[in-house]
Structure 1
């Protein structure tokens, strides 16, 4: 009997530890979309699993951006409220950027051939308020290409299981990627860091692309690990950069980069 009670208690404890509330990506999208058009309350989620793809490029405030002499169209959505996710798991893709190619169907004999023309239609998302993704896990892709982060943003302790796309992203205030795990391609090409950038103890398990990145303030990669190629070619370091105890397992390219880079292995 005593052994049976112990087994039951262990099972209950195990259930409590492993159980995590599930929330649909659609419900979160609606909370953001409706909330910012009404009471503008901050969005907060903790210890939840988000099921489905969360696409923030289709918010109600989406606007078409007119570009002169351009072969493609662009639409911009804006998250106008602070968003906070702590210890959350994103099962699907997190979409703040997407591109839909223009396609035409052509008949060739008995076969139909789809072919693309132009650069398609681009959808992007900006964040007007603070953004927090701390100790989260992105199991799908995380697409933040062209996103503008107006206030402080933190991805501290977050794991990116698939590619993390921050190409052309603008970080206007402090950005934190400390203790992050990037398991696939980490794309920060052409990104702009206007204030402090913290990559302390981050782990890049695949190609880390910081080519043409612009660091206007202090940046630290202290204690970080690059298991694949680290590309800082043409990177612009305006202030001091800390690479103390950083491990480059497959080489690093600083060709044509400028600024002070401190390394103490």
Structure 2
């Protein structure tokens, strides 16, 4: 009887896992790009997205003049709300890339002989409880509305260097397996990282926090660099867990530890 009960339990577990797997929809990243180009709202739950979601190659891509950079730049604009909940991204999410003149990618280098491709977001962006197995490249992106990245798992470096958050930026409860790059990021409204975990380098060097920042109970397993960061209002680090000494050299503004 005990053996039968064990077999029944295993069978029930297998059926449960199978049902959950079948409930997951799978789609190609190109389907999402097509919806954005058609100005259709993007909203997915419990989906597996395959392929590279390259937001720098939208139909509205235009060449722009950037006074701060000497390189040639092309900008795409996501003009519809994006909502992803409980989704898994198998490939990269690209809102920033650089290419040589011959089309070769050189994402870690930007020179006068490079062509820069970026994407801005004009509507609300929500990624909640998602897993990013590839790269997440949002360098130089502007988020005009609220940007929600709560309870996500970033398996590779999360690159938000130079990102401009016009409204609340929420990364609460997210797990960064590698580095979290927010160097030079501009948080014009609330920056919320409460209960997040950053396992590698947390780079907030030169970041500007214009309207309060919460790192309540955030866990920094690697180096935490806030050198030259500016807190126009209070930066709350209550209960934050620093596994190595954080660098607040030349930081401006009030902080609660």
TM-score (norm 1): 0.88
Aligned-partner SS, 2:238: coil
Task: Assess if the C-alpha contact under 8 Å between 1:103 and 1:117 holds in 2.
Answer: no
Distance 1:27 1:69 in 2: 34
Query: Which one has the largest radius of gyration?
Result: 1
Distance 2:230 2:138 in 1: 21
Tell me the equivalent position of 1:112.
none
Tell me the equivalent position of 1:23.
27
| Residue from 224, 227, 248 that aligns with 1:230 | 224
| Residue from 212, 229, 234 that aligns with 1:240 | 234
Quickly say closer, same or farther: Cα 1:121–1:32, change in 2 above 3 A: same
Give the alignment of 1:114-263 within 5 angstroms: 118-263=112-257
Distance 1:29 1:195 in 2: 29
Task: Assess if the C-alpha contact under 8 Å between 2:72 and 2:114 holds in 1.
Answer: yes
Mean CA deviation greater in 200-209 or 13-22: 13-22
Between Structure 1 and Structure 2, which shows a larger proportion of strand residues? Answer: 1
Tell me the equivalent position of 2:48.
49
Distance 1:135 1:236 in 2: 29
Distance 1:76 1:45 in 2: 25
What value does the CA root-mean-square deviation take over the aligned residues? 2.1
- The one-character-per-residue Cα deviations of 1:185-227 (angstroms, maximum 9, x if unpaired) are 1110000000011100010000010000000001100100101
Q: Which runs of 5+ in 1 are unaligned?
A: 105-115
TM-score (norm 2): 0.91
Quickly say closer, same or farther: Cα 1:18–1:101, change in 2 above 3 A: same
Give the alignment of 1:53-64 within 5 angstroms: 53-64=52-63
Tell me the equivalent position of 1:78.
77
